[in-house]
């Protein structure tokens, strides 16, 4: 059985944001970028595939972006950091790949969960400027070998919680 996003999503000001675990299948349409009043987009634990549409960066009022537990693939839209109001970003348990260049500047971000994807490369130095960040989970990816360079090299405040898979089970 295939499901579609509820018809309320067609309005520029939906009465409530779409919720998670609705057995949605298919792709997330680029039309999502027309929902400019949306503050929360929680579509976790569905069966959404393909790429996260670039038009998601049009949701300037978005505070919560929760796309965990789907089948999204490809790279995260490069201008995601234009969502300056974002407080929570959870794209864990997908098939997202590429580097973390989209992590440029998020002044209000409190929690980032990138776990269990296919990200590679280094964690960008820009993460130090996320003044409200409290939790950053990047376990289950192919970042660096060894320990977290951010915590060792950059005197990260104790308020940070890092989660990484060091290969020791």
CATH code, 63: 3.80.10.10
Which residues on neighbouring strands pair with residue 47, listed in sequence order? 25
- Does any domain span residue 169? no
Q: What is the pLDDT of residues 71-101, one digit of tens each?
A: 999 999 999 999 999 999 999 999 999 999 9
pLDDT at 162 over 70: no
Q: What is the span of the domain harbouring residue 159? A: 7-163
Residue 143 contacts residue 121 (beta carbons within 8 Å): yes
d(C-alpha 151, C-alpha 160), whole Å: 9
* pLDDT value of position 147: 43
- Does any domain span residue 101? yes
Q: What's the structural domain count of the chain?
A: 1
- Does any domain span residue 1? no
* Burial category of 167 from C-beta neighbours within 10 Å (exposed 0-12, middle 13-18, buried 19 and up): exposed
* pLDDT value of position 126: 86
Give the residue, 150 or 31, on which the prediction is more confident.
Answer: 31
Give the list of residues 6+ apart from residue 21 with CB closer than 8 angstroms, or none.
Answer: 44, 45, 46
d(C-alpha 169, C-alpha 158), whole Å: 25
Q: What is the pLDDT of residues 18-66, one digit of tens each?
A: 556 678 999 999 999 999 999 999 999 999 999 999 999 999 999 999 9
pTM of the shown model: 0.80
């Amino acid at each position: 059985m295939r499901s579609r996003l509820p018809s309320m999503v067609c309005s520029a000001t939906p009465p409530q944001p779409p919720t998670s675990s609705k057995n949605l299948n298919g792709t997330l349409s680029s039309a999502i970028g027309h929902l400019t009043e949306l503050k929360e987009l929680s579509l976790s634990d569905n069966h959404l595939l393909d790429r996260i549409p670039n038009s998601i960066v049009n949701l300037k009022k978005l505070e919560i972006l929760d796309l965990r537990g789907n089948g999204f693939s490809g790279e995260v839209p490069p201008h995601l950091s234009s969502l300056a109001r974002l407080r929570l970003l959870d794209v864990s348990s997908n098939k997202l790949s590429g580097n973390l260049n989209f992590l440029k500047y998020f002044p209000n971000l409190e929690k980032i969960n990138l776990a269990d994807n296919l990200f590679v490369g280094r964690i960008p130095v820009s993460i130090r400027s996320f003044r409200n960040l409290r939790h950053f989970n990047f376990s289950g990816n192919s970042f660096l070998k060894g320990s977290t360079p951010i915590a060792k090299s950059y005197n990260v405040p104790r308020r940070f919680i890092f989660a990484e898979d060091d290969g020791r089970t």
